[in-house]
């Protein structure tokens, strides 16, 4: 990318000081989701009680599953004298009562600011209670005043990849997959794809069961599923790591780079496989890693996707869309919209890694006549101000843009996180040929529904 193009797409951002209706959540939330995707793990927030409770509520309302996040429940005296004793007490309680095999400790703004040294406290804890059968402890620094929930998510993935894989593991044929923050249904689909290639995959995190579990006979204190710790330990011996996210791919330090640097695991950094080209790149990587051709099933899926894109193009071609959400998700969505003839007019994110404009440029390059406006690090006040001017036909993003879409009377196609006002967010597909097709159907139907509803006549055929 040239300097000129960077200049061209640079947002004219008014320097607001306040935030109105944030397009992001805070970092410990992302870390909690990661820890929830490890087998036998309980996420643990080192901070005051409210943090854990708020994040639980936020996640429960999206996933509709029990989300138990423990807290060291710090009070005033701990804030002054340090939270170590409560952290230890909390760990013991979680160990004994939940039977946790893993406890993932994430810090909060409070404990980061009072300067609690979590690795040291954990070290002391291991020494003090060495006679007990201790769970695997992993920790991550997630001060809420740095980054968004995505930085927390990636930091936790990286922390796990740094702290748990065993250097002594022998090389094996397994593949590591760091899928990013996607839906449980996406995770299941990714697993199926690897299975179809005959590749043993270790997906980190894997909350496909823990955040979308079946109805069972009894309440599971810790829901079954998640990446087994043994598999995480063996990630160091894998033949390759696949890390998804076009924006993440520009980050210097990630879970994937940790495995590469510390254990020499070959790293494939790819955009989220949303849309044809991104999915092609993903399957091409799997072809290369496995040394096999794309399984027929997926070749057929690709064919179906293309067929649908042709069948449906007329309904959506030229429509203008506003897209917002996590940086990697929107980069994937924009790649797809570009392919199907929807003009993304505004691409926004609460995330502010600095790498979103380049990722969007790459996703639209050569197809879109006019690049979309890209606004990283914004809130819904700014998105709304900008988008109103652009007169979109469609809004694509999480639930939080609902009021905006409602006021403009345009359809909101709900993707990503959080979806608090619709049912089935866990089962929304975004990834691969199949996920792209599912999204495509929803987009086309949203446009048709709107046209049908607005029509004075109504009709029975399209």
Q: For strand 136-140 and strand 175-178, is the pairing parallel, antiparallel, or unpaired?
A: unpaired
Q: At closest approach, how far in Å is the CB of 102 from other proteins?
A: 14
Token pair of 447 as six digits: 């446009």
Quote the CA–CA distance of 103 and 43 in Å, as a whole number.
6
Nearer to other proteins, 69 or 438 (CB): 69
Nearer to other proteins, 286 or 425 (CB): 425
Nearer to other proteins, 83 or 435 (CB): 83
Q: Considering all CA atoms of the chain, what is the largest pairwise distance in Å, rounded to the nearest integer?
A: 76
CB under 8 Å to 107, separation ≥6 — which residues? 28, 45, 46, 47, 116, 118, 139, 140, 141, 142, 143
Q: 294: alpha, beta or left, given left = phi > 0 and alpha = psi -120 to 50?
A: beta
Buried b (16+ CB within 10 A) or exposed e, 52-85: bebbbebbeebbebbbbbbbbbbeeebbeebbbe
Quote the CA–CA distance of 238 and 341 in Å, as a whole number.
39
Q: At closest approach, how far in Å is the CB of 70 from other proteins?
A: 5
Q: Is 437 helix (H, G, I), strand (E, B) or coil?
A: helix
Token pair of 448 as six digits: 């048709």
Start-to-end CA span in the chain (Å): 42
CB under 8 Å to 254, separation ≥6 — which residues? 154, 157, 158, 178, 243, 248
**Contact, 163 vs 138, CB < 8 A?**
yes
Q: At closest approach, how far in Å is the CB of 175 from other proteins?
A: 33
Q: At closest approach, how far in Å is the CB of 241 from other proteins?
A: 30
Nearer to other proteins, 68 or 162 (CB): 68
Nearer to other proteins, 223 or 275 (CB): 223
Nearer to other proteins, 109 or 247 (CB): 109
Q: At closest approach, how far in Å is the CB of 378 from other proteins?
A: 11
**Contact, 325 vs 398, CB < 8 A?**
yes
DSSP conformation class of 409: T
Q: At closest approach, how far in Å is the CB of 178 from other proteins?
A: 24
Nearer to other proteins, 75 or 264 (CB): 75
Q: At closest approach, how far in Å is the CB of 391 from other proteins?
A: 23
Q: At closest approach, how far in Å is the CB of 216 from other proteins?
A: 6
Nearer to other proteins, 51 or 405 (CB): 51
Nearer to other proteins, 20 or 317 (CB): 20
Q: At closest approach, how far in Å is the CB of 219 from other proteins?
A: 4
Beta strands in 108-150 (DSSP E): 136-140
Q: At 24, which helix (H) or strand (E)? A: none
Q: Kindly give the residue spans of alpha helices, DSSP state H, lying in 228-372.
A: 229-233, 255-263, 276-290, 296-316, 327-340, 356-364
Q: At closest approach, how far in Å is the CB of 162 from other proteins?
A: 22
Q: At closest approach, how far in Å is the CB of 155 from other proteins?
A: 14
Nearer to other proteins, 55 or 413 (CB): 55
Quote the CA–CA distance of 86 and 118 in Å, as a whole number.
12
Nearer to other proteins, 144 or 364 (CB): 144
Nearest to 203 by CA among 222, 177, 181: 177
Q: For strand 240-244 and strand 175-178, is the pairing parallel, antiparallel, or unpaired?
A: parallel
């Amino acid at each position: 990318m040239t300097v000129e193009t960077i200049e061209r797409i640079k947002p004219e951002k008014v320097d607001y000081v306040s935030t109105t209706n944030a397009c992001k959540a805070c970092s410990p939330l992302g870390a909690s989701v990661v820890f929830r995707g490890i087998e036998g793990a309980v996420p643990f927030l080192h901070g005051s009680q409210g943090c854990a409770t708020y994040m639980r509520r936020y996640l429960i309302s999206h996933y509709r599953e029990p989300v138990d996040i423990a807290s060291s429940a710090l009070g005033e005296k701990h804030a002054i004298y340090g939270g170590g004793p409560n952290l230890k007490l909390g760990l013991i309680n979680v160990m004994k009562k939940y039977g946790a095999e893993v406890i993932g400790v994430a810090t909060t703004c409070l404990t980061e600011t009072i300067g609690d040294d979590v690795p040291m406290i954990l070290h002391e804890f291991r020494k003090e209670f060495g006679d007990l059968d201790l769970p695997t402890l992993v920790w991550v620094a997630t001060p809420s005043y740095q980054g968004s929930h995505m930085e927390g998510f990636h930091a936790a993935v990286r922390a796990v990849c740094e702290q748990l894989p065993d250097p002594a593991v022998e090389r094996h044929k397994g593949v590591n997959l760091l899928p990013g923050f996607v839906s449980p249904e996406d995770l299941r689909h990714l697993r199926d794809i690897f299975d179809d290639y005959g590749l043993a995959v270790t997906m980190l995190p894997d909350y496909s069961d823990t955040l979308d579990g079946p109805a069972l006979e009894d309440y599971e204190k810790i829901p079954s599923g998640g990446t087994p710790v043994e598999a995480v330990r063996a990630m160091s011996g894998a033949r390759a790591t696949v890390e998804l996210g076009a924006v993440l791919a520009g980050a210097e330090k990630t879970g994937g780079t940790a495995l590469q640097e510390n254990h020499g695991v070959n790293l494939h950094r790819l955009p989220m496989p949303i849309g044809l080209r991104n999915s092609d790149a993903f399957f091409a990587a799997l072809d290369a890693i496995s040394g096999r051709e794309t399984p027929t099933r997926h070749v057929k899926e690709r064919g179906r996707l293309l067929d649908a894109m042709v069948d449906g193009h007329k309904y959506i071609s030229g429509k203008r869309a506003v897209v917002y959400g996590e940086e990697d998700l929107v980069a994937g969505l924009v790649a797809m919209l570009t392919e199907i003839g929807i003009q993304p007019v505004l691409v926004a994110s609460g995330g502010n890694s600095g790498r979103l404009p380049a990722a969007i440029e790459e996703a639209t390059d050569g197809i879109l006549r006019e690049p979309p406006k890209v606004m990283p690090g914004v809130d819904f006040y700014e998105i709304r101000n900008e988008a109103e001017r652009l007169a979109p036909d469609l809004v694509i993003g999480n639930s939080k843009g609902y009021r905006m879409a409602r006021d403009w009377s345009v359809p909101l196609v709900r993707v990503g996180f959080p979806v608090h006002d619709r049912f089935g967010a866990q089962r929304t597909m975004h990834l691969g040929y199949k996920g792209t097709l599912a999204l495509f159907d929803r987009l086309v139907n949203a446009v048709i529904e709107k046209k049908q509803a607005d029509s004075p006549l109504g009709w029975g055929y399209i």
